[in-house]
Structure 1
Amino acid sequence: MTAGKRAAAAPTALAEAAERVARLAGEHAVASEQARRLHPAVVDAIRAAGFARHFVPNEYGGTGGGTLDLVRALVVIGRQCASAAWSASIVAGLGRMAGFLPAAGRDRIWQHGPDALVVGSLAPIGRAVESADGWRLSGTWPSISVVDHCDWALFRAVVGGGPKQARVFAVPRTDFLVKDTWTTIGMGGTGSNTVVVDDVLVPHELSFLGDDLFDGRPDADQAYHRMPLQAVNGLLFAAPALGAARGAYAHWSGYAGDKIHNLPAKPLGPGPSRTFYATTLARSAGELDSAELLLERAAATAEQAAGPSPLEVARNARDCALAAELLVTSVNRMFSAAGTGGQSTTGPLQRFWRDVNSAVTHVGLQFEPAALGYAVPATEQ
């Protein structure tokens, strides 16, 4: 049994490549989790599929791709391995952010081609001091996904020596230390380790104002550089979780189908009835479909030619957070209904369950700040 499906869309190059990544990621999912980082072959497949270049400007050989196309591709991979989907999302999203650098900085990032793997953190927990040659950057940033495989990383830091403002700095992999700290119960394969930058000189061309990223640049050539971060940020974290929830459903629905068809219409004793399994299946499937509809509308809104309005930007953040709640509710219900069999460490259900519950704790998917952000423009209409 399967959850309801949207009308089939013509496969794109990224979607077709995502199928290949998904198969490989699924084969290595258990090993990646045990190693606490993706298998190198999976990272190579993500790069070859075009995720790193998806939002890279055309002038550097990038795809200049769309948000909806990316979301659908991430769901495909997430059905097999949430960590691989999350990692593909990170390199696509941070590649978009690198496009805010000055031209000379972009030239350096993509000097060897559009497939440079860029990762990073927007937590403003570093410090930078301006010098004649650029900025002296120091700080410690936790939870940097895919950092062991990256070429560059972006870090947000507060500028000292004057009015405080946050800037984003691009640092090559050779200039920072990675500390092995990723030991979480879910999303283990993302390798989201800690980065330490110790008084590194960052040239002026490798930095830009953080406000440009959060507000968007109205005069930017690429549409995805004109939209505010909140229009797209939640999608990059919710789409892998949707994929993982779909993976959980694909596994659990087979088990539920056997129960529905084989249990007698009238229970013979204590224990769940066929109605229990039917109800669980229908509710869980409906929640997954609802989450998918919310995310696809948000993705289509983000890439519309005129750009999203302030209310649409806030609605996107709200809908991504709401979708995350639907996903974790659906997966938790299925996991509970699977009984002890679903908890077996040799089966995939417990991994999908852990991954979804971990993914939705990301700060970009919390409902309360999204609700507050939505309430102001909504009440001004």
Structure 2
Amino acid sequence: MSPDNRKKKSANIPTRKEIIQAAADLVPILRERAEEAEDLRKMPDETIEDLKAAGIHKIFTPQRYGGYEMEWGTHVDVARELGKGCASTAWTSSVVMSHTWILGRFPVEAQEEFWPSCPDAIVGTAFAGGGGMEETEGGFILNGLWRFSSGIDHADCALVAGRFANKETVASGGTALEYRMALIMPDQYEIIDTWHAEGLKATGSKDVKVVDQFIPFHRTAKSIEISGNSPPGAQLHDSYIYRVELNMFFSTLLSGPMLGATHGIMQEYLEQTRSRFGAL
């Protein structure tokens, strides 16, 4: 499928400073909801609505589909603010909502099929654990069980990786397996509630199970291609973020939540001890 030259440019894209301020403005309400979020073991619906109202879910969504396509590092600053109120919300904003960046690297046909009908998408991922793909006519049959899929309860789709034995490689006597990523819809996977952690409870990092689901070829790509500097869907977008090697950038998704939560703990300690006098 060849992309046309029409690109939907987002209206009213906030500046980096503005979206960081929008995150900072949410801190008081996030503090109020922190206990509820822990009890739910997932993000409260109201918090997801607040994050979307602030545009935080669109930081790395391509402009072609109504997103902001912002500079790399914006997610760190945003999560650093949110973490002052709720570490799980910071994790969700940075780790989960940044997955639109990965979907923006997928094959052209997959993006053109998905984004127009779901421009406000939250994209889940599940890579820990494992699965496998078996080639069939027009695509693959996917099976697997993956762990730690943060934010999956609020996801509009998910990206998973599965092992695939290339028939041509096997036929020539090779045994090497390759990994492919697949874009799957909510009706293709089961969410298994296994998330009973002591920390980051509200990230809802549950298991995802897929049984005998057909995935069209265009909704898959080799993992090495998606993570490289020339992924199949990068041609659709202007920003460099869809063409850089993924791994060295991916690790920064954790930076903002850690910095924000540390700052929040320090602030809480200072507030609790500011009026304390005398011996313990």
Bin the TM-score by the shorter chain.
Answer: 0.7 to 0.9
SS at match of 1:92: helix
Structure with bigger RCO (C-alpha 8 Å, 6+ apart): 2
RMSD of the TM alignment (CA)?
2.1
The CA distance in 2 between the partners of 1:66 and 1:24, in whole Å, is: 27
1:37-58 per-residue CA deviation (whole Å, 9 max, x = no partner) reads 1110111222222232211221
Measured at CA, do residues 189 and 124 of structure 1 come closer, stay the same or move farther in structure 2, by a change above 3 Å?
A: closer
The CA distance in 2 between the partners of 1:101 and 1:15, in whole Å, is: 28
1:272-309 per-residue CA deviation (whole Å, 9 max, x = no partner) reads 9xxxxxxxxxxxxxxxxxxxxxxxxxxxxxxxxxxxxx
Structure number with greater Rg is 1
The aligned counterpart of 1:84 is 89
The one-letter amino acid of 1:242's match is L
The aligned counterpart of 1:236 is 253
The aligned counterpart of 2:80 is 75
The CA distance in 2 between the partners of 1:19 and 1:213, in whole Å, is: 33
The CA distance in 2 between the partners of 1:202 and 1:13, in whole Å, is: 39
The aligned counterpart of 1:132 is 137
Matched, 1:57 2:74: no
Deviation at 1:207, TM superposition (A): 1.1
Moved over 3 A (4+): 218-221, 254-259
Deviation at 1:71, TM superposition (A): 0.9
SS at match of 1:232: helix
SS at match of 1:76: helix
The one-letter amino acid of 2:196's match is T
Measured at CA, do residues 11 and 52 of structure 1 come closer, stay the same or move farther in structure 2, by a change above 3 Å?
A: closer
The aligned counterpart of 1:204 is 217
The one-letter amino acid of 2:219's match is L
SS at match of 2:117: coil
Unaligned runs of at least 5 residues, structure 1: 1-9, 264-270, 273-381
The CA distance in 2 between the partners of 1:238 and 1:252, in whole Å, is: 21
Identity %: 26
Matched, 1:118 2:123: yes
Deviation at 1:19, TM superposition (A): 2.5
The aligned counterpart of 2:22 is 17
Deviation at 1:257, TM superposition (A): 4.6
Give the conservation status (yes or no) of the 8 Å contact 1:141–1:195.
yes
The CA distance in 1 between the partners of 2:215 and 2:29, in whole Å, is: 37
Choose between structure 1 and 2: higher strand proportion.
Answer: 2
1:82-125 per-residue CA deviation (whole Å, 9 max, x = no partner) reads 11111111333210000111111012221224211101123371
1:281-360 alignment to 2 at 5 Å?
Answer: none
TM-score normalised to structure 2 length: 0.84
SS at match of 2:37: helix
Decide which of 229, 246, 266 is 2:263's aligned counterpart.
246
Deviates further, 62-71 or 211-220: 211-220
The one-letter amino acid of 2:136's match is S
The CA distance in 2 between the partners of 1:25 and 1:209, in whole Å, is: 39
Measured at CA, do residues 79 and 215 of structure 1 come closer, stay the same or move farther in structure 2, by a change above 3 Å?
A: same
Unaligned runs of at least 5 residues, structure 2: 1-14, 168-175
The CA distance in 2 between the partners of 1:11 and 1:90, in whole Å, is: 18
Length, aligned pairs only? 254
Measured at CA, do residues 23 and 133 of structure 1 come closer, stay the same or move farther in structure 2, by a change above 3 Å?
A: farther
Give the conservation status (yes or no) of the 8 Å contact 1:32–1:188.
yes
SS at match of 1:111: helix
Choose between structure 1 and 2: higher helix proportion.
Answer: 1
The CA distance in 1 between the partners of 2:86 and 2:63, in whole Å, is: 30
The CA distance in 2 between the partners of 1:11 and 1:53, in whole Å, is: 12
